[in-house]
Amino acid sequence: MNNKIKVYDIGSGITGNAICTERFKSSLITVTFAVPLEKDSASANALVPYLLSRNCAKYPLMTQLNERLAELYGASIQGSVEKLGDIQLLRLCITFLNDRFALNGESISHECAHLLCDMIFNPVLENGDFTSENVEREKRLLIETLDSEFNEKRIYALKRLEEIMFKEEPYGTGRVGTKESAASVTSSQVGLAWKNILKTAPVLINVVGEIDASNVFNVFKEQFQKIDRSKIISVSSNVKSFVSEEQRVEERMDVAQSKLVMGLRTCEEDVSDKAHIIAVMTDLFGGGPYSRLFMNVREKLSLCYYCSARFIRQKGAMIIQSGVETKNIQATENEILNQLNIVKNGEFTENELTSSKLALSDTLGTVNDSLFSIDAWYYRQFCNSEIISPEEYADKINSVTSEQIVKAAEKVQLDTVYVLVGDAQNNESEGGAE
């Protein structure tokens, strides 16, 4: 039940992935632009996909666009921004019902491909720039998104760790920049960013579902051919393979639960051929409920409510997140490092390794059952030299040995500890109507 991927060369720096499958009721098209993540341009770039997703010259009012999407049986267009290592991905996605469900025999997919193309190439412009009304709205929405990330302390603490640990690297910049950088962007900067992206950014178009992909690619090809794409920028992520100096930052806030976030470096010169080994090692250490962190830090010692580790492949980094009571911060930190040492010393069982491999390959087996996970699987490999399928990756995962894990774990070094210390341990808030 594997999906076959067909790769197309659509133009200079433009790749098309077609994953044709009839198992879904709907299909999707995504267009991903890759640009270097930089402090100075992050906010202006980030505004582009959001702006493009709200309206276009043909449907200048958001109500008009949304009416059109509703007529297309609830098709939806989404703009999004992600960081993939030191790269900023600017994405537009349209999902729509397959033609066979149309009540009046219309071709929803054809309409949707043209619509998405229109959104990207023919936005609402005034003297060549985005209108200030549209730009100001998106700036506000971006700033409010950052506000809501602050409200969610789990996300906020992770962001703080990334800022501190990667302050000398592009990855230390937030995916959409900061509130300050978002507030200072001008309409002409966003307009320029849009034009630059169309001209110079590597592009990936994914088409997933029951749809004639070559038709879709032709629609986009026609538009891209009108643009001079002779100078395509190269984008890549750098891995820092050593720890300069261990850092520790504590901040206090009036919250009930403290957050402990630890950033480590895997200290590999070249992560790409060892990524699957580090992925298994991270999972065995702090992935599922069978992992060292879950079984010991949470279950056995009840030190925290959650405690897990994640591998950031593009940066060769491992990040541990945990929610703890203030009095347990130090004990939790010690125990996390103790568990890491156990992995380094190879004092884990073959069963633990088998559990990790089983769980990881089982999850890989579900990728092909969702449009969104298929799309994600391939766009996240956008900047990799070699593209592999979930099945091929599962084979690599299953080949990992204890020796390889120990070897990889031995190199792991703590880089940064960030603690959000909760002050509100004893003052129960008095909200509510009781």
Partner 1 sequence: MSVKEIYSELLDEKYYSINHKSGLKILVYPKEEYSSCYAIFGTKYGSIDTRFRLEGENQITEVPEGIAHFLEHKLFESEELDAFERYAKTGASANAYTSFDRTCYLFSCSANFIPSLEILLDFVQSPYFTKETVEKEQGIIGQEIRMYDDVPDWKVLFNMLKGMYHNHPVKIDIAGTQESIAEITDKLLYKCYNTFYNLHNMVLCIAGNVTLNEVLEAADRLIKPAKDQKVIREFADEPDSVVTSEIEEKMSVASPVFCFGYKETVEAEEVSLKKRIETEILLDMLIGDSSELFQELLSEGLVNMSFSSEYFTGGGYASIIFSGESSDPRAIKARLEEKIKDIRRNGIDKNCFERSRKLLYGRSIMSYNNVETISNALVSAHFLGNELFDELNIYRSLTSEDIRRRLDDAFDENRSVLSVILPE
Site for partner 1 in 344-363 (CB under 8 A): 351, 354-355, 358-359, 361-363
CA distance 14 to 8: 9
Chain residues 303-322 in contact with partner 1, contact rule CB under 8 A: 304-306
Cα 367 from chain centre: 16
Interface segment toward partner 1; rule CB under 8 A; list 31-39, 63-71, 159-167, 399-407: 63-71
To which H or E segment does residue 216 belong?
A: helix 213-224
Chain residues 262-301 in contact with partner 1, contact rule CB under 8 A: 288-290, 298
CA 6, 9, 13, 18 dihedral sign is: negative
Expressed in angstroms, the distance from the first to the final Cα of the chain is 56
Minimum gap (Å) between residue 332 Cβ and partner 1: 11
Q: Does 105 engage in binding with partner 1 (CB under 8 A)?
A: no
Determine the angle formed by the axes of helices 350-364 and 402-410, rounding to 10 degrees.
90
Minimum gap (Å) between residue 203 Cβ and partner 1: 25
Chain residues 200-229 in contact with partner 1, contact rule CB under 8 A: none
Q: Does 6 engage in binding with partner 1 (CB under 8 A)?
A: no
Judged by CB under 8 A, which of 172, 325, 380, 421 binds partner 1?
325
CA distance 190 to 135: 8
CA distance 382 to 303: 39
Q: Does 183 engage in binding with partner 1 (CB under 8 A)?
A: no
Chain residues 85-104 in contact with partner 1, contact rule CB under 8 A: 95, 97, 101
Residue written as tokens 């980094």?
A: 317
Judged by CB under 8 A, which of 74, 183, 238, 269 binds partner 1?
74
Judged by CB under 8 A, which of 83, 153, 175, 276 binds partner 1?
153
User: What's the DSSP call for residue 326?
Assistant: G
Chain residues 367-396 in contact with partner 1, contact rule CB under 8 A: 368-371
CA distance 264 to 319: 6
Q: Does 242 engage in binding with partner 1 (CB under 8 A)?
A: no
Residue 281 · residue 433 · CB < 8 Å: no
Q: Which of 242, 372 has the CB closer to partner 1?
A: 372
Minimum gap (Å) between residue 320 Cβ and partner 1: 17
